[in-house]
A and B are shown apart, each in its own frame.
Chain A
Amino acid sequence: MNVGAFMLLKVEKLKKYFPVQKSFLERLLSRKLEYVKAVDEISFEVEKGEVFTLAGESGCGKTTTGRLIVRLIEPTGGKIFFKGTDITFLKGEPLRKIRKNAQIIFQDPYASLNPRMKIGDSVGNPLEIYNLAFKEDKKRLVLEMLEKVGLEPADKFYYAYPHELSGGQRQRAAIARAMILNPDLVVADEPISMIDVSLRAKILELMIQLKEELNLTYIFITHDLAVAKYISNRVAIMYLGKIVETGLKEIIFSEALHPYTIALLSAIPVPNPKVKRKYMELKGEVPSPINPPSGCRFHPRCPYKNAKCSVEEPELVDVGKGHYVACHKLAH
C-alpha cells in the first residue's frame, strides 16, 4: 500500500452473526439461540481507485461483507469508515447521503430490476430520489449513461422493459443504475456469474472502462479466482467468515502462503490441456459456520496443522510488501 494514498474505506473487526431460526418446540425447550457467524472480525482497507476483490467459496462471507459495507444489513460489531467517517451505525439522512456515494451491483440481473419499470425509469430513479434531475434532465442523463454502458440505441432501451432484454443487457442496465449517481465506491457482487460465457469478458471490459472514466473504486466479489486475477489490484481470500490471506494480486497468485489459498488455487481448472498443475488435495468440505472449528477455522482440513492451530486463532500477520497471512505456521 502506498503511504499517502487516499483510504476510501476502512473496515475494522467487522462482524455479522445471523441468528438461526428456532422452531416453536425448540423455544418451548428453551434451547440456546445459535448464530451463523457469516463474517467474524474482519479488517481491511480499500484505497481510492483500486479494485479490491473478496474471493472465496460459498458461505465464506464475501457477499455478507459487501452488503455490510453499503449498509444493506446491520453489522453485529466492528466499524466501517467511509471517507474517514464512521458509518457503522448511521441512520436516516446521513446514511442516505453516504449511499449516494456507495452503490452496489447484484449478481442476478433477473431479480435486481423491477419488472414493471421501464429501463429508463429504473436507471433514472436514483436521480429523482436524490433530487438531482427530473423529466428532461433526467432523461438526458439516463440516455448518456445507457450509451456509456453500451445499451444502444439508448432511446430504444430507455422505453424497454427488463423482460425484453437478455441477461447481459440487464446487467448493463444494473451497472448503469449503480453508476448514474457518480459514486465513489461500487460493490460488485458476482456481476458476471449469471451471464453467458461469451458475454462475460465484455462486461468485465465495460466495468474496467467505466472505472477509468468515472474514477471509481470497486469492491469486487467473486468465487472465480481466474476472474479475480484478471480484474483486481488486491485480493482478500476468505474462509468461513475470516480473511485468511490478502495482498497484491501479483503476490497472491504467485507467492500465496496460506495452505487454503494454495489448495484453492491448485483446484482451479485451466483451459489448456498441456498445463499439468500441482494439486494440493484437501479432504472434505467447508464446515458449518454455525459452530466453526476452534482456533484456526481451517485446521481440520489443513495438512500442516500443529497443536497450536486448534487452540489459538491466528491473526493476520504482515509478511512484507502489503502481504498479510493468518497462519501459525508462518508466524514463527
Chain B
Amino acid sequence: MAEELLRTEDLKVYYYTQDGIVRAVENVNFSIKKRETIGVVGESGSGKSTLGLAILKLVPPPGKIVNGKMFFQGIELTKLNEKEMQKIRGKKISMVFQDPTTSLNPLMKIGEHLTETILVHEKVTRDEACERALKLLEDVGILRERFNDYPHQFSGGMRQRVGIALALALKPDLVIADEPTSSLDVIVQFQILELMKSLKKLYDMSLILITHDISIVSEIADKIALMYAGHLVEIAEVAAFFEEPLHPYAEALLHSVPNIQLSDQKLEYIPGMPPDLINPPRGCRFHPRCSYVKEICREKEPPLIQAKPEHFVKCFNYVK
C-alpha cells in the first residue's frame, strides 16, 4: 500500500455572499496516496474548483473554510497560518490553472518567470536557477531557445506547457490541475494530457485533475471523485467506476455523455437541473432529480458508504 499524501475530513467551504451563504463544498472526505492520480469531476457549480483552492487555502473571499480538517504528509494544513502555508504552496503542493494567459505575467520572459520562482523559494545561485529553468522547459517540450520569449509569443498549448513547468519548478509532491485542457483544442488537449502523464512519473508526484469532462478522467486517472452540488457523491477506482457506477447521478451522467466509439447511441438525460447552493435541497442534494428516490433521501443527508474495498458512495439506496 502506498502511503497517504493528503486527507480531508468533513471539509466545508462556504461563500458568504450578499444573497446568502453558498454551500459550495460540504462534508467532503477523501484522500490521495503517493503517485496517485485522482480525477475530480463535476458540472459547473459542483464545488470542484473550490475544493482544489481549499486544499491550498486559497479560497477567495467571501469564501471561507468553515469546518473540517486537511492533513498533508501528517501536517494539519487547516491549522497552519498564512506564513506557514506559503512554504507548502508551490513547494509541496502546486497548481496548474485553466487559462495560462491569465496566470502568467505578460511582462516577464518565461525563463525569467521560472528562474524567479526558484530563486524566491530556494537558496540557489542565479546560474543554478537558470540551469534548472532550462531543464524544466526541456521536460515540458519547449525548446531552450524560447527561454527569452514572452507569454504572448506562445500558442495556447505551449503556454499551458509553461504553466505546467511553473507548477513543477519546486518539485512538489502534489499538483492540482484545474481544468488544464478546457481552453485547448482536442489534439492539443491530447498532447498536454500525455505530457502530464509522463511528467507525473518523471517527477514522482501525485496529481489531482479537476475537470468537467468525464472522458478525460477515464484516460488519465487512477481514481475518480465525482462531485454534485457541493457533495462528493462517489469515489472509486476508474475501472470499477466505469464498469459499475453506484450513485444514481453517476449512472445517469455516464448515459448522457456522447461516446465517439458507439454507433446509434441512445442518450439519456437527467431531469431537472443542478440546485441553487444557497438553498440546496434537504437530505441528499440529488434527490429531486433521482429516479430511485425514497422517503429517507428527502430527510437525511446520506453518509459516504464503503460499498467495496476501494469504492465509496454517498447514497442510501446503495444499501439494498
Q: How far is the CA of A253 from the CA of B263 in the complex (A)?
A: 9
**A221 interface residue per 8 A CB criterion:** no
Known A-B contacts A201-B269, A229-B260, A230-B265; the reply to A57 vs B186 at CB < 8 A is yes
B185/A58 in contact, CB under 8 A? yes
Asked if A319 is at the interface of the complex by the 8 Å CB criterion, the answer is no
Q: Which residues of B contact A230 (CB under 8 A)?
A: 258, 265, 267
Task: Assess whether B305 is interfacial by the CB under 8 Å rule.
Answer: no
Residue in contact with A286 in the complex, picked from B185, B215, B263, B268, CB distance below 8 Å: B185
Minimum distance in angstroms from B261 CB to a CB of chain A: 5
Given A57-B186, A273-B238, the answer on whether A201 and B219 have CB atoms closer than 8 Å is no
Name which of A196, A250, A265, A282 has the most chain B CB atoms within 10 A of its CB.
Answer: A196
Segment from B6-14, B53-61, B120-128, B187-195 that makes contact with A: B187-195
Chain A residue with Cβ nearest B43: A196
Contacts of A282 in B (CB 8 A): 187
Q: Say if the beta carbon of B23 comes within 8 Å of chain A.
A: no
Report A221 CB to chain B, min CB distance, Å. 15
Chain B residues, CB < 8 A from A285: 155-158, 185, 187-188
- Decide yes or no whether A112 CB sits under 8 A from chain B: no
Indicate which residue in A196, A204, A264 contacts B267 across the interface (CB closer than 8 Å).
A204
Q: For this complex, into which size category does the number of interface residues on chain A fall?
A: 35 or more
Find residues 217-233 in chain A having any chain B CB closer than 8 Å to their own CB. 223-227, 229-230
Tell me the number of A-to-B contacts counted with CB atoms below 8 Å.
115
Closest-by-CB residue of A relative to B259 is A271
Q: What B residues does A22 contact at CB under 8 A?
A: none
Cα distance A263–B190 in the bound complex, in angstroms: 11
A267 to B242, CA, bound (A): 20
- Decide: B157 and A198 in contact? CB cutoff 8 A: no
Are A267 and B43 in contact, with the CB atoms below 8 A? no
- Give the residues from 224 to 261 in chain A that come closer than 8 angstroms, CB to CB, to chain B: 224-227, 229-230, 250, 253
Residues on B with beta carbons closer than 8 Å to the beta carbon of A227: 258
Given A197-B253, A197-B257, A269-B219, residue A205 in contact with residue B157 (CB < 8 A) = no
Contact present for B259 and A198 (CB under 8 Å): no
Chain A residue with Cβ nearest B255 = A201
Residues of A within 8 A of B156 (CB): 285
Tell which of B187, B213, B214 touches A267, judged by Cβ atoms closer than 8 Å.
B187
B290 is an interface residue with CB less than 8 A from chain A: no
Q: Say which residue of A57, A226, A273 sits within 8 Å of B219 (CB atoms).
A: A273
Closest to B44 in A: A196
A166 with B190: CB separation less than 8 A: no
User: Is B88 on the interface with A (CB-CB < 8 A)?
Assistant: no
Q: Is the CB of B260 within 8 A of A202?
A: no
Q: Report yes or no: A272 in contact with B187, Cβ–Cβ below 8 A.
A: no
CA gap between A269 and B258 in the complex, in Å: 11
Kindly list chain B residues whose C-beta atoms are within 8 Å of the C-beta of A57: 185-187
A166: chain B residues within 8 A (beta carbon): 273
Asked whether A272 lies within 8 Å of B267 as measured between CB atoms, the reply is no
Whether the Cβ atoms of B242 and A272 lie closer than 8 Å is: yes
Q: Is A200 an interface residue (CB 8 A)?
A: yes
Give the residue among B191, B213, B260 with the most A Cβ atoms within 10 A.
Answer: B260
- The docked-state distance in angstroms from the alpha carbon of A49 to that of B270 is 28
Per-position contact with B for A266-286: 1 when CB-CB < 8 Å, else 0? 011111111100010110011
B260-A198 in contact (CB<8A)? no
A-contacting residues, B238-271, CB 8 Å: 238-239, 242, 252-254, 256-261, 263, 265, 267-270
Which residues of B147-197 have CB atoms within 8 Å of chain A's CB atoms? 155-158, 185-191, 193
Bound Cα distance from A275 to B260, whole angstroms? 11
A168 contacts B by Cβ under 8 Å = yes
Report yes or no: B218 in contact with A197, Cβ–Cβ below 8 A.
no
Residues in A neighbouring B258, C-beta threshold 8 A: 201, 224, 226-227, 229-230
0/1 string, B221-251, CB within 8 A of A gives 1? 0000000000000000011001000000000
Per-position 1/0 for B89-126, Cβ under 8 A of A: 00000000000000000000000000000000000000
Q: How far apart are the CA atoms of A250 and B264 in the complex, in Å?
A: 10
Contact A197 B261 (CB under 8 A): no
- Which residues of chain A have C-beta atoms less than 8 A from B267's C-beta? 201, 204-205, 230
B63 at the binding interface (Cβ < 8 Å): no
Contacts of B158 on A, CB cut-off 8 Å? 285
A196 neighbours in B (Cβ, 8 Å):
43-44, 273-274
Nearest to B185 among chain A residues (CB) is A57
Using a CB-CB cutoff of 8 Å, which residues 205-223 of chain B contact chain A? 212-216, 218-219
Q: Which residues of B contact A274 (CB under 8 A)?
A: 239, 242
How far apart sit A72 and B290, CA to CA, in the bound complex (Å)?
43
Residues of B within 8 A of A73 (CB): none
CB distance from A107 to the nearest CB of B (A): 15
Q: A264-B186, A271-B254, A285-B185 are in contact. List 11 more A-B contacts (CB 8 A).
A: A57-B186, A201-B257, A201-B258, A224-B258, A226-B257, A230-B267, A264-B187, A267-B187, A270-B261, A271-B242, A271-B257
Taking Cβ atoms with an 8 Å cutoff, the residues of A that contact B are: 57-58, 166, 168, 196-202, 204-205, 223-227, 229-230, 250, 253, 263-265, 267-275, 279, 281-282, 285-286
The 4 closest A-B pairs by CB, nearest first: A269-B215, A267-B190, A226-B258, A57-B185
Write the residues of chain B forming the contact surface with A, with a CB cutoff of 8 angstroms: 43-44, 155-158, 185-191, 193, 212-216, 218-219, 238-239, 242, 252-254, 256-261, 263, 265, 267-270, 273-274
Task: Offer 23 A-B interface pairs, CB within 8 angstroms, sorted by A.
Answer: A57-B186, A196-B43, A196-B274, A197-B253, A198-B274, A201-B256, A201-B267, A201-B268, A202-B269, A226-B257, A226-B260, A267-B187, A267-B190, A269-B190, A269-B193, A269-B219, A271-B218, A271-B242, A272-B261, A273-B218, A274-B239, A282-B187, A286-B185
